[in-house]
Amino acid sequence: MAKLGKRTKAAQAVFAGKTSLTVEDAVKLIKGAASAKFDETLEIAMNLGVDPRHADQMVRGVVTLPNGTGKTVRVAVFARGAKADEAKAAGADIVGAEDLLETIQGGKIEFDRCIATPDMMPLVGRLGKILGPRNLMPNPKVGTVTMDVKGAVDAAKGGEVQFKVEKAGVIHAGIGKVSFDEGKLAENVRAFVDAVSRARPTGAKGAYVKKVSLSSTMGPGVSLDLASASGN
């Protein structure tokens, strides 16, 4: 723990006084300071001018990052018959119906993304209290309730990231690994920021994106220059 403390203090010293950086400078700083014994994730936090308690200010969506996330995504699919076969052929990790329902109800959740065909939603709906809080509930708005099972599995495995604003008006996501090339991380940052910007709800008033910050899994955060963070 003492070594971790020293690393944290050293990182904080490097980051001290640095704010409103360009995406490239922030990525370079974070890569240089990352010192954990594992490949840390580059994490983004966006503070938005919304109150998600109001339906017309909810922000939710999905983005396919140009360079992937570097994370192995485990996918579960609720489907029967030919669609179940399609899911297995596409590389889904878990495929089932009532049996998968019972497994989840028993507390075993060994997946990061849940996909369902529309006819399975009455069954999946019974898992709302379990999957909802974990942001795993299939939803047609982000393409996880669909007849295109192969497309949904491919997207989940290929670097697609879902986002949903939290109660405090903040969106968090992992958007790559610190080991990625600096340019690829910068591309991922801008792709994510632009996707959230395009998802601006009708009820948002005034400044929508208030702050964008980057950090590594174990490192301090640094704020970005908002103009630099946008790919537009």
CATH no., domain 75-157: 3.40.50.790
- Tokens (6 digits) for 181: 């090339």
Report the mean per-residue pLDDT for the chain: 92
E-state strands within 12-159? 41-48, 60-64, 75-78, 94-96, 113-116
**Given this model, what pLDDT does residue 1 score?**
42
**Given this model, what pLDDT does residue 3 score?**
52
Average pLDDT over residues 163-175: 95
What values do phi and psi take at 114, rounded to 5? -120, 125
Average pLDDT over residues 138-163: 95
Q: Which CATH architecture has domain 18-69+160-229?
A: 2-Layer Sandwich (3.30)
* Signed CA dihedral, 64, 68, 73, 79: sign only: positive
Residue type, 186: A
Average pLDDT over residues 3-11: 58
**Residue extent(s) of CATH 3.40.50.790 domains in the chain:** 75-157
Tell me the pTM.
0.84
**Given this model, what pLDDT does residue 2 score?**
42
- In this model, does residue 15 exceed pLDDT 80? no
**Given this model, what pLDDT does residue 145 score?**
98
- In this model, does residue 161 exceed pLDDT 50? yes
**Given this model, what pLDDT does residue 20 score?**
85
Counted residue by residue, the chain has a size of 232
C-beta pairs of 11-14 under 8 Å, 24+ apart in sequence: 11/35, 11/219, 11/220, 12/220
**Residue extent(s) of CATH 3.30.190.20 domains in the chain:** 18-69+160-229
- In this model, does residue 7 exceed pLDDT 80? no
**Given this model, what pLDDT does residue 19 score?**
78
